[in-house]
Amino acid sequence: MAILVDKSTRLLVQGITGKAGGFHARSCMEYGTHLVAGVTPARGGEVFADKIPVFDTVFEARQQTGCNATMIFVPAEFAADSIMEAVDSGIELIICITEGIPVIDMMRVKAAMTGGKSRLIGPNCPGIITPGQCKIGIMPGYIHKPGKVGVVSRSGTLTYEAVWQLSARGHGQSTCVGIGGDPINGTSHLDVVKMFNDDPDTEAMILIGEIGGTAEEEAAAWLAENCKKPVAAFIAGATAPPGRRMGHAGAIVSGGKGTAAGKIEALRAANIEIAETPADMADALLRRMARA
């Protein structure tokens, strides 16, 4: 099994005729993802990669192809509307790669999606991959191997580092989810660890967080009460000066909350093994697994 995506996923790409959208759509296809449609307004009727139909609207693409997931590569000023178009068309899984979306736009999206059936991953994220089955996003597919470790992360590059370490040590991944580093996103650490906990084929997890917000503490509190699977974690930004935004828009400590020390303390209290450096992520999980 896996979470969220597998061989049955039927992918749409919004912005498929753009340079980035087209490049990564081809990469997903080459990995084996079942790409069924693209959307670019006013480009309906064209064909991508000699076989993928392009539509003017997500609704048309959904009606004609039965797509149940979408990958969004559109400029930031139009991204919120693209997300809502996918929601209104009934797309179950929405992966928004676009970065730089205004916070107020994401506030409106978050409010509009509350209680609905669509799930948003991102924005400003690398995407999601179930190794050997489906890749939706910008991650390098070749470093991933099928296996039993679930990975959830706010950072794309740290996700790749953790995956490479796991694969090099002979531990594949069930699913890897990059939830994005913006202050308002669609899917949290807690959402993903709950899914991993329920997945019988995910036997352990790596959680990668960073300064800013309280999502990691919330996940730690839930894991302490509900999860028996081995978990390791790394928190980026321990040396960041207080009050300074570091990299991701969400990586800012405010009002004394969101510090690396506070997150690490909460994770340790939940019996989660802490990686002291990025190079220690896989080994931290192996140490925790040895004690399980």
* Rounded mean pLDDT, 156-173: 97
According to the model, what pLDDT value does residue 55 have? 98
Radius of gyration of the chain (CA): 19
Instruction: Report CA-CA distances (Å) from 116 to 3, 50, 86, 110, 228.
Output: 19, 35, 12, 10, 30
Farthest-apart Cα atoms in the chain, separation: 58
User: Is residue 240's pLDDT more than 80?
Assistant: no
CA 163 to chain centre: 14
User: Is residue 257's pLDDT more than 90?
Assistant: no
According to the model, what pLDDT value does residue 94 have? 98
Give the tens place of pLDDT for each residue, 98-108.
999 999 999 99
Which single residue is written with the structure tokens 């996700």?
159
According to the model, what pLDDT value does residue 107 have? 96
Between 1 and 15, whose confidence is greater?
15
User: Is residue 251's pLDDT more than 70?
Assistant: no
Name the least confident of 68-77, 122-131, 233-242: 233-242
According to the model, what pLDDT value does residue 243 have? 58
* Rounded mean pLDDT, 178-196: 95
Q: pLDDT over 70 for what percent of the chain?
A: 93
User: Is residue 27's pLDDT more than 60?
Assistant: yes
According to the model, what pLDDT value does residue 213 have? 83
According to the model, what pLDDT value does residue 233 have? 98
The average confidence (pLDDT) of the chain is: 93
The domains located in the chain, with CATH, are 10-121 (3.40.50.720), 139-291 (3.40.50.261)
* Rounded mean pLDDT, 193-202: 97
User: Is residue 255's pLDDT more than 50?
Assistant: no
The active-site residue out of 24, 144, 189, 248 is 248
According to the model, what pLDDT value does residue 258 have? 74
pLDDT-derived band at 247, boundaries 50, 70, 90 = low
According to the model, what pLDDT value does residue 238 have? 74
According to the model, what pLDDT value does residue 2 have? 86
Helix/strand/coil (H, E, C) string of the chain? CCCCCCCCCEEEEECCCCHHHHHHHHHHHHHCCEEEEEECCCCCCCEECCCEEEECCHHHHHHHHCCCEEEECCCHHHHHHHHHHHHHCCCCEEEECCCCCCHHHHHHHHHHHCCCCCEEECCCCCEEEECCCEEEECCCHHHCCEEEEEEEECCHHHHHHHHHHHHHCCCCEEEEEECCCCCCCCCCHHHHHHHHHHCCCCCEEEEEEECCCCHHHHHHHHHHHHCCCCEEEEEECCCCCCCCCCCCCCCCCECCECCHHHHHHHHHHCCCEECCCHHHHHHHHHHHHHHC
pTM of the predicted model as reported, rounded to 2 decimal places:
0.94
Q: pLDDT over 90 for what percent of the chain?
A: 87
Say what angle helices 76-88 and 58-65 make with each other, to 10 degrees: 40
* Rounded mean pLDDT, 234-245: 72
* Rounded mean pLDDT, 262-270: 95
The rounded distance, in Å, linking the Cα atoms of 264 and 259 is 9
248 in catalytic set: yes
User: Is residue 220's pLDDT more than 50?
Assistant: yes
According to the model, what pLDDT value does residue 69 have? 98
pLDDT-derived band at 246, boundaries 50, 70, 90 = low
First CA to last CA across the chain, in angstroms? 22
According to the model, what pLDDT value does residue 211 have? 86
Give the tens place of pLDDT for each residue, 4-18.
999 999 999 999 999
